[in-house]
A and B are shown apart, each in its own frame.
Chain A
Amino acid sequence: MSEKIHGFIYDKDTDGIVTITMDMDGPVNAMNEQYRQAMAAILPRLEAESGLTGVVFASAKSTFFAGGDLRELSSIPRGEEEGQFRMIEDAVKAPLRRLEKLPVPVVAAINGAALGGGLEICLACNYRIALNSPKVAIGLPEVTLGLLPGGGGVVRSIHMLGLEKALPFLLEGTRMKPAQALSAGFVNELVDDVDALVDSAKSWIKANPEAAAQPWDIKGHILPGGDAWSPVISGILSAAPAITFKKTRGLLPAPERILAVAGDTMSVDFDTALRIESRGLAYLITTPEAKNIITSGFFQMNSINSGISRPNDIAPTKVKKVGILGAGMMGQGIAYSSAVAGIEVVLKDISKEAAEKGKAYTAQLFDKQIARGRSSEDNKNKVLELIKATDNYADLQGCDLIIEAVFENIELKNKVTKEAEGFLAEGGVYGTNTSTLPISQLAEASANAENFIGIHFFSPVDKMPLIEIICGEKTSDETVAKAFDYARQIRKTAIVVNDSLGFFTSRVFGTYMDEGARLLQEGIDPILIDAMGKQVGMPVGPLTVQDEVSQELSRKAAETHREMGVFCSKGDNSVNAEISERLIKDFGRGGRYHGGGYYEYGSDGSKTVWPKLYELYHKPEMSIPNQDMKDRILFRQVVESLKCLQEGVLRSVADGNVGSLLGIGAPTWSGGFLQFVNTYEYKGATGPAAFVIRSNELAELYGERFSAPAIAIEKASNNGRFE
């Protein structure tokens, strides 16, 4: 006899065990209004159930329970904290507390992913049995979304495992496989057969009819590993903030709040800790950081990866054989990434020797992984067998994709295009890996401009997750789709943009280095400039990154653009170019791998400012407020991103956000350079309106380049958002 109550199937067997099979509306079970109604209805029912001997929580979906409803969460505006707090307390926490206080054992039968709220339900059960399948992921990933586990996840993890063991899972949001969850103590038992899951749960109930109380509800319970009075715990609490800061630079409120709740949990009783946890989540929900991370880091990332930027009326394609022209740094990385994905690779360079050297890069990467126990000789050999190193164009015969990755030189690229494209299979795609040269112009060398496309990889290719696909004027939708499918095939995230000088990522990235160069030219200490970049949340400072990219590359790009008559036509990087040219011409400082740039690099890995730089630029009397410097560094890139959207270089906001996060290193908290504008708060305003106020202020103080683009002014005037 079963009954469905707000998506929960309530079924009592002859032994008195009630199985609640969650089968909510929609594809997954989630902690939404329907869930809250279901719990509100089910708890009184369970409490009143006569002859009840146990409860099993199960799922009718392929996942167990997917956690919070992120759309709902990310829509909650500032000022709604109290309402959220009450809702978390009354509609989420109270029912779970009642569940674990039932006088009978409650068991979670975890058949699929139990993440976030899903695991929190399980933690409010007396026993957890999980299916031992790779499909089952268990964890509390809230921190990765700018939130904290507010359904008791923080407090129950700590009371179950102790602070020391629980903290890493809470602060990193680790997704565990079943075996890992078992050894960590988050689940108690694994079963191999999904059909045996509920039976195993019932067997455990029958074997343990007295196991109805949670450890923390048993008199005399002490926190495993100690409470605030334990020297070990106080040691952890005093070191944890520094360890966390090293990762977040104080820019992410969620891990800080998790630590704060964890700290209080060491000093107060279980129920009080739960309430503190609710307050913490209510606080985080309305932070700009959480909204930014959820909007672009989660929703837009998912939509990009599921192909929102790909022409949708074209059947999926797969690359079987890829040809790579040029076995340099980029070519060898592309070869590795393609071969690892099981694609046959032809790696062509001028000499066999150069090509073999490029292939050896794959072997080196595998050797490192093998040394760390993450791969095997067998794997390495299988992948290496897929790569053919050659100096012979004829080996490219039949490739369904050729990627040219030779030096950034138009004539050279044109020559190679003409020589290679004839070997493509029928309908094959010719991609050029360039970060600075216009695709439509390069396509002129091709006999088949519809099949010609920009495929911009980032260095190092094996580590960087992004590919920027650039459509030339004549590039066909089929070609875009194929390039996109290839990117997914090699497990990269791909954004699709239109052809314009510097495309999206290089153009915006250029402004980062340029603003660093301008601060230098104005006389600011180089150390301070780089520190400001890092304080804003960029991976490294603008001067350091210029050294990595190399002044040499910046100089060459400027030279090429001057020859083409397009220098600084999109994105003003004139100061950066000027300083790069000067450093190379007068002092031979071409960058880190050219013997040093802004910095000197010791063989021991040390890095110190090149002393002459102070002589050339530093004005000790020069002082700009830190906040202004940080805003300049950030706003330059945001303004440029807005212009890319305005000019149609960006085809969607999602492409801009994901591209800036993965390709430029936009700070995680910002949600990308367009999302940043949506939640920016300044002088009492929020969103584009606030952004316009501040950017115009910066323009007045530091130059026209900060003026808010028309697209931002328009959004500000109609109180819109970049979506």
Chain B
Amino acid sequence: MPETAYIYDAIRTPRSKGKSDGYLHEVKPVALAAGLLKELQQRHDLDTSRVDDVVMGCVSPVGEQGGDIAKTVVQFAEWDESVPGVQLDRFCASGLEAFNFAAMKVASGWEELVVAGGVESMSRIPMGAAGGAWLNDPEVNFHDGTVPQGIGADTIATLGGWKREDVDAFALASQQRAANAQANGYFDRSVVPVTDLNGVTILAKDDFIKPNSTMDILGGLRPSFAAMGSMGFDELMLRKYPQLPAIDHVHTPGNSSGIVDGASAVLVGSEKAGKDLGLTPRGRIVATAVLATDPTIMLIGPGPAAKKVLEKAGMTTADIDLFEINEAFASVALRFMQDLDISHDVTNVNGGAIAMGHPLGATGAMLVSTMLDELERRNKKRALIALCVGGGQGIATIIERV
């Protein structure tokens, strides 16, 4: 590759419940993301005219999230008029895909400085608001056999033999790890408080974490997808997985990712851009990969994607210090660890979306900041980040401290 793509900084907003009583409901998505661009500018006294592009993931790009929100964010943040912006949508991978695109733009040598990130106000623009033929067109649906993701997650658990206690135990660990990390300030470098137009703080820290979770509490929650499955979606799924007698609906709100609002931003650039602007690189992007697997079960892409990215990098899991798999559902993470034969000890070490929530388009780039901070804190070298993605896709990226 002509250039090395460096990570100069990675920041995010705190995440809060994505409902009308969540703290960030009052913050419009444009303002949520613009706050991060302002922070990037101020932290680094950044000459924004040097930024070649701003790439932002957003999964429901309609209403106030519509109309190429990345460009609107650039303007609302009062960045230089010359800075363009583009919104992309690869479902839940959007934030990481934005980061990967930024890496490719820089690595190709065609652009020097790119901001990648994402934004999703799930409280203001509800999940599914953008529709799509894959969900809402009966002909397409009959053709593809698309089934709601939660049923896919339950199927993964059933296939893997993970019972309710297994997924709940994973969820509990996520809560405990996130609570511990927050309490010890592990997120402080990345998390930028959200303020109002007066500079008054609206939310300073993730507030979705439930540190007092117990197996009893988690065990008391009702399965989320049993009713939906019995409507016929289970049958659709079992057409593809006839070896299963039934689907065990183990996922609940307690072991699935939370619906939250949030945004993320990562500054990616070439060595020259960093030198010109006096920026110190925190890491570099080693390799990226994306692929697709069975769209019906939908959520088994991360393992294959991770293998693909390792192969591209000429590495094995032994070369990776920390793994981060987006906790869309507990079974997704369990399957990922099984696929790669890795331990929970080095995976999602500070918890994940089950504890902190998954603001769809923003999450991927949030995980970059989480990993970068943790590599630095542990003085380790490499991390692999992966997410499951709508349509059976999987995405993975390896980053390395420099």
Interface set of A (CB-CB < 8 Å, partner B):
81-82, 85, 228-229, 264, 267-269, 271-272, 275-276, 279-280, 282-283
Contacts and interface: CB of A to CB of B under 8 A. Distances in A.
Contacts of B63: 228-229, 267
Given A229-B63, A264-B26, A282-B200, 7 more contacts: A81-B200, A267-B28, A267-B64, A268-B20, A268-B25, A272-B20, A275-B26
B124 A268 contact: yes
A276 B64 contact: no
Contacts of A228: 63-64
Contact of A82 (B26, B124, B200): B200
A275 B197 CA distance: 12
Nearest to A85: B200
Sorted nearest first, the 6 A-B pairs with minimum C-beta distance are: A81-B198, A269-B20, A82-B200, A279-B196, A272-B26, A283-B197
Contacts of B196: 85, 279
Contacts of A268: 20, 25-26, 124
Contacts of A272: 20, 25-26
A267 B25 CA distance: 9
Contacts of B198: 81-82, 85, 279, 282-283
B2 interface: no
Contacts of A264: 26, 28
A557 B26 CA distance: 60
A280 B28 CA distance: 14
Contacts of A269: 20, 25
Contacts of A283: 197-198
Contacts of A282: 198, 200
A490 B261 CA distance: 60
Nearest to A84: B198
Q: From DSSP, what is the main secondary structure of chain A's interface residues?
A: helix
A282 B197 CA distance: 9
B199 interface: yes
A188 B25 CA distance: 33
Contacts of B199: 81-82
A267 B200 contact: no
Interface string B166-199: 0000000000000000000000000000001111
A276 B26 CA distance: 7
A652 B254 CA distance: 70
Contacts of B20: 268-269, 271-272
A85 B199 CA distance: 11
Nearest to B63: A228
Contacts of A271: 20
A279 B25 CA distance: 14
A325 to B, nearest CB: 57
A82 B199 CA distance: 8
Q: From DSSP, what is the main secondary structure of chain B's interface residues?
A: loop
Contact of B124 (A267, A275, A279): A267
A295 B15 CA distance: 43
Contacts of A279: 196-198, 200
Contacts of B197: 279-280, 283
A279 B197 CA distance: 7
Interface in B32-80: 63-64
Nearest to A279: B196
Nearest to B124: A267
Contacts of A81: 198-200
Nearest to B26: A272
Contacts of B25: 268-269, 272
A268 B23 CA distance: 12
A514 B299 CA distance: 74
A81 B64 CA distance: 27
Nearest to A80: B198
Nearest to B197: A283
A267 to B, nearest CB: 5
A620 B63 CA distance: 45
A268 B26 CA distance: 7
A280 B200 CA distance: 12
Nearest to A280: B197
Contacts of A229: 63
B279 to A, nearest CB: 28
A275 B124 CA distance: 16
A271 B19 CA distance: 13
Nearest to A78: B198
27 contacts: A81-B199, A82-B198, A82-B200, A85-B196, A85-B198, A85-B200, A228-B63, A228-B64, A229-B63, A264-B26, A264-B28, A267-B28, A267-B64, A268-B20, A268-B25, A268-B124, A269-B20, A269-B25, A271-B20, A272-B26, A275-B26, A276-B26, A279-B197, A279-B198, A282-B200, A283-B197, A283-B198
A706 B21 CA distance: 55
A51 B93 CA distance: 59
Scoring A82, A272, A280, A282 by chain B CB atoms within 10 A of each residue's CB, the highest score goes to A272
A228 B124 CA distance: 10
B196 to A, nearest CB: 5
Contacts of B26: 264, 268, 272, 275-276
Contacts of B28: 264, 267
B22 to A, nearest CB: 9
Contacts of A267: 28, 63-64, 124
A269 B200 CA distance: 21
A272 B124 CA distance: 11
Nearest to A278: B196
A396 B196 CA distance: 67
A490 B72 CA distance: 53
Contacts of A85: 196, 198, 200
A85 B196 CA distance: 11
B24 to A, nearest CB: 10
A282 to B, nearest CB: 6
Nearest to A260: B197
A127 B170 CA distance: 54
Interface in B64-104: 64
A81 B197 CA distance: 10
A70 B46 CA distance: 42
A275 to B, nearest CB: 6
A664 B196 CA distance: 38
Contacts of B64: 228, 267
A164 to B, nearest CB: 19
A267 B197 CA distance: 18
Nearest to B121: A267
A655 B196 CA distance: 39
Scoring A228, A264, A271 by chain B CB atoms within 10 A of each residue's CB, the highest score goes to A264
A701 B312 CA distance: 63
A333 B196 CA distance: 52
A283 B200 CA distance: 10
A85 B26 CA distance: 15
A275 B26 CA distance: 8
A637 B20 CA distance: 51
Scoring A85, A264, A267, A282 by chain B CB atoms within 10 A of each residue's CB, the highest score goes to A267
A86 to B, nearest CB: 9
Contacts of B124: 267-268
A82 B198 CA distance: 7
B96 to A, nearest CB: 28
Contacts of A276: 26
A585 B391 CA distance: 81
Nearest to A286: B198
A272 B261 CA distance: 15
A264 B28 CA distance: 8
A275 B202 CA distance: 11
A228 to B, nearest CB: 6
B5 to A, nearest CB: 36
A85 B198 CA distance: 9
Interface string B223-245: 00000000000000000000000
Nearest to B201: A82
Nearest to A285: B198
A105 to B, nearest CB: 27
Nearest to A266: B64
A645 to B, nearest CB: 34
A152 to B, nearest CB: 15
